[in-house]
Amino acid sequence: MEKLIEVFNLGGLPTAPLDSFLELQEDFKKSDPDKLSKLQMLIITRGFKYAFKAWKDPDGKLWIIDAHQRRKALIALRKAGFTIPNIPYEPIFAIDKKEAVEEIAAYNSEFATKNPDTLLFKKYNIDSDTLQRFNLGYEVKATDFGQLSPLFPQEHESDAVNEDEVDFDIPAAEDTTAIVAQPGDIWLLGNHRLMCGDCRSKSDVSALMNGQHADLCVTDPPYNVNYEGGTEDELTIQNDSMENDLFATFLKQVFSIMFTILKPGGSYYIFHADSEGENFRASLRKAGLKIAQCCI
């Protein structure tokens, strides 16, 4: 079955083969493998919707003003076996190549600052997981919850705690509508660190680990079984119904990062559905991890 990237051209713009577009920005931007992988997954799941912006020189060559990363993502997808149709582009006027480079600077200029408190996405029910996929950027913030320490007895106190004396009746928060955690937040719980982040992002995982390596990793990724809850809400799980190749790429991303933060000889347990066992095992091997046993 052909794997075709859907290309949208609602404006009826001119189109050209992917190889017709030439790089012009050189070292203006540094490529980020994590962001490039996310961009590839966006194109696979949402289609290609944003036309290139290009300057056509007197010889008819197309030089990219905006879309350098999209071009790299499409080339990588083509290498992975996807068919890439002709790409729409918006012609950008420039007298010569020097002015075309100036257009790169102009297009990347910022004449406004993103509002960190914007309500736009909340208004349209766009969740944080979705926003992370677009790499809008956020700062890693650490919050120390020292008041939680009494919940975890010190070593000399442990023998004095009786199960019958523990009060598990935790009062509900007064305002359940306010979302406290934001992408990039790291919560310090005694000696433990909890992050609101993306396990596919090397920068997120690196910030969470803070230079340390793990003896053990226990993870429960989506099973890709299109689960739907039996309650009235019929809740579903994000990333639980992907095309086969996309799911395999998703797993390899996660497992490759997991491999980098495990100590040599470190252990891992991964919960999975056996219907996707082939993808799980193949992705583990590609990530460099050893498969030892399967517990049932």
In a domain, 156, yes or no: no
Confirm whether 167 is domain-assigned: no
Q: Give the phi and the psi of residue 192 in degrees, each rounded to 5.
A: -105, 150
The verdict on residue 169 lying in a domain is: no
The answer to whether the CB of 279 falls within 8 A of the CB of 247 is: yes
Q: Is residue 281 part of a domain?
A: yes
Please tell me the distance from the alpha carbon of residue 266 to that of residue 271, in angstroms, as a whole number: 17
Question: Are 7 and 79 in a shared domain?
Answer: yes
Q: Are 129 and 40 contained in the same domain?
A: no
- Note down the domain range covering 267: 213-296
Residue 174 lies in a domain: no
Going by C-alpha positions, the residue among 201, 191, 188 that lies closest to residue 261 is 201
Calpha distance 161→264 (Å, rounded):
37
**Residue 136 placed within a domain:** yes
CA atoms within 13 A on the CB side of 186: 17
**What is the reported pLDDT for 135?**
57
- Counted domains in the chain: 3
Residue 168 lies in a domain: no
Residue 161, pLDDT score: 41
pLDDT at position 112: 55
Q: Are residues 87 and 129 in the same domain?
A: no
Q: What is the pLDDT of residue 168?
A: 45
pLDDT for the residue 116: 67
On whether both 247 and 196 belong to a single domain, the answer is: no
pLDDT profile of the chain (296 residues), mean per 10: 87 96 87 84 89 95 93 92 94 92 80 65 66 51 46 45 46 61 84 87 87 91 83 78 83 90 89 89 89 86
- 89 & 124 share domain: no
